[in-house]
Structure 1
Amino acid sequence: MRTPRTRPSLFTAGTASLALLVTACGGSGGSSAAPEDFSYLSATENTTVKNTLTTLSKGVCRTANEALPLKVETVPQASLDQKLQLLAGQDALPVQFAAGNAPSLTRQLADSGKVADLEEQLSLKAISHLEPAAVSTIKALYGGELQVLPYEYNVEGIFYNKKIFADNGLEVPDTWEELVAAAAKLEGLGVQPFSASGQQGWPLTRLISGYLYRSLGPYAMEDVAGGKAKLTDPEYVKAAEEVAALGGKGYFGKGVGSIDYDTAMNQFLNGEAAMFYMGSWALANISDDKQNKVGAENVGFMPFPAVSGGKGSVDQYPSNVGLGIALSAKSFDEKTGDWVSCIAKNYGSTALKDHGSISGFKVNTEVKDANEVTTQVRDTISSSKQNVLWFEALFGTKATTVSQTNAASLVSGSMKPEQFMQTVQEALAAQ
Structure 2
Amino acid sequence: MTTASMRRRLLPLGALLGAGALALTACGPADGGSSAGGDDKTFTYLGQTENTTIVKTLETLGGDQCAAEEKAAPLTTDSIAGTQWDQKLQLLAGQGALSDMSMAAGTPSLMQQFIDAGQVQDLSKALDDLGVADKILPAAESTIKALYGGDTLYALPTELNIEGFWYNKQLLADNGIEAPTTWGDLVDAAATLDAAGVQPFAAAGKDGWPVTRLVGDYIVRDLGPDALKKVADGDAKLTDPEYVAAADAVAELGKAGYFGDAVGSVDYNAAMNQFLTGGAAFFYMGSWALANFNDAEQNQIGVDNVGFAQFPDVEGGAGSIDQVPANVGIPVMLSTNGYTDTTADWLKCIAENYGDTVLADSGVVSGFALENPPADLPETTQTVQDVIANAPSSVLWFEALFTSKGTTVSQTNGGGLGNGTLTGAEFMDLVQSANDQG
Asked if these proteins are the same fold (TM beyond 0.5), I'd say: yes
Answer yes or no: is the 8 Å Cα contact 1:6–1:45 preserved in 2: no
Q: Which amino acid aligns with 2:132?
A: A
Which of 92, 95, 113 does residue 90 from structure 1 map onto?
95
Answer yes or no: is the 8 Å Cα contact 1:64–1:335 preserved in 2: yes
Answer yes or no: is the 8 Å Cα contact 1:4–1:202 preserved in 2: no
Question: What is aligned with 1:306?
Answer: 313
Provide the identity percentage.
Answer: 51
**Cα distance in 2, alignment partners of residues 32 and 289 from structure 1:** 45
The C-alpha deviation readout for 1:113-160, integer Å capped at 9, x for no partner, is: 211111222235211111111111111111222110000011111111
For the residue of structure 1 that corresponds to 2:339, the secondary structure is: coil
**Cα distance in 2, alignment partners of residues 61 and 32 from structure 1:** 20
**Cα distance in 2, alignment partners of residues 72 and 262 from structure 1:** 33
Counterpart check, 1:225 vs 2:223: no
Q: More deviation in 87-96 or 411-420? A: 411-420
Counterpart check, 1:141 vs 2:147: yes
Answer yes or no: is the 8 Å Cα contact 2:165–2:283 preserved in 1: yes
Q: Which amino acid aligns with 2:270?
A: T
Which sections of structure 2, spanning at least 5 residues, go unmatched?
Answer: 1-12, 23-35
Q: Which amino acid aligns with 1:334?
A: D
Answer yes or no: is the 8 Å Cα contact 2:135–2:368 preserved in 1: yes
Counterpart check, 1:403 vs 2:415: no
Answer yes or no: is the 8 Å Cα contact 2:251–2:422 preserved in 1: no
For the residue of structure 2 that corresponds to 1:317, the secondary structure is: strand
**Cα distance in 2, alignment partners of residues 348 and 4 from structure 1:** 22
**Cα distance in 1, alignment partners of residues 207 and 45 from structure 2:** 30
1:6 Cα offset (Å): 9.1
Question: What is aligned with 1:116?
Answer: 121
1:179 Cα offset (Å): 0.5
Counterpart check, 1:151 vs 2:158: yes
Question: What is aligned with 1:207?
Answer: 214
For the residue of structure 2 that corresponds to 1:213, the secondary structure is: helix
**Cα distance in 1, alignment partners of residues 329 and 189 from structure 2:** 32
1:69 Cα offset (Å): 1.9
Question: What is aligned with 1:195?
Answer: 202
Question: What is aligned with 1:14?
Answer: none
**Cα distance in 2, alignment partners of residues 131 and 33 from structure 1:** 29
Q: Which amino acid aligns with 1:338?
A: D
1:275 Cα offset (Å): 0.8
The C-alpha deviation readout for 1:337-385, integer Å capped at 9, x for no partner, is: 1111111000111111121111000011142242222212111111111
**Cα distance in 2, alignment partners of residues 78 and 35 from structure 1:** 31
Q: Which amino acid aligns with 1:66?
A: K
**Cα distance in 1, alignment partners of residues 101 and 261 from structure 2:** 45
Q: Which amino acid aligns with 2:273?
A: N
**Cα distance in 2, alignment partners of residues 233 and 44 from structure 1:** 42
**Cα distance in 2, alignment partners of residues 180 and 317 from structure 1:** 20
Answer yes or no: is the 8 Å Cα contact 1:403–1:424 preserved in 2: yes
Structure 1 residues 263 and 70 mapped into 2: Cα distance closer, same or farther (>3 Å)? farther
1:92 Cα offset (Å): 1.6
Q: Which amino acid aligns with 1:72?
A: T
The C-alpha deviation readout for 1:80-116, integer Å capped at 9, x for no partner, is: 1122112212222111111122111111111112111
The C-alpha deviation readout for 1:155-200, integer Å capped at 9, x for no partner, is: 1111111111112221111211110111111112221111111222
Pairwise CA RMSD: 2.0
Q: More deviation in 66-75 or 398-407? A: 66-75
**Cα distance in 2, alignment partners of residues 360 and 379 from structure 1:** 12
Which sections of structure 1, spanning at least 5 residues, go unmatched?
Answer: 11-30
Which of 128, 138, 152 does residue 134 from structure 2 map onto?
128
Question: What is aligned with 2:111?
Answer: 106
The C-alpha deviation readout for 1:228-249, integer Å capped at 9, x for no partner, is: 2110011111111111111111
The C-alpha deviation readout for 1:275-316, integer Å capped at 9, x for no partner, is: 111111111221122221211111111111111111111111
For the residue of structure 2 that corresponds to 1:282, the secondary structure is: helix
Q: Spell out the pairing of 1:226-305 with structure 2 (5 A cutoff).
A: 226-305=233-312
Give the number of equivalent residue pairs: 411
**Cα distance in 2, alignment partners of residues 205 and 35 from structure 1:** 46
Counterpart check, 1:422 vs 2:429: yes
Answer yes or no: is the 8 Å Cα contact 1:32–1:331 preserved in 2: yes
Question: What is aligned with 1:382?
Answer: 389
**Cα distance in 1, alignment partners of residues 83 and 240 from structure 2:** 34
**Cα distance in 2, alignment partners of residues 42 and 6 from structure 1:** 19
Answer yes or no: is the 8 Å Cα contact 2:190–2:258 preserved in 1: yes
**Cα distance in 1, alignment partners of residues 251 and 110 from structure 2:** 33
Q: More deviation in 121-130 or 135-144? A: 121-130
Question: What is aligned with 2:177?
Answer: 170
Question: What is aligned with 2:14?
Answer: 2
Q: Which amino acid aligns with 1:380?
A: V
Q: Spell out the pairing of 1:59-70 with structure 2 (5 A cutoff).
A: 59-70=64-75
Q: Which amino acid aligns with 2:147?
A: L
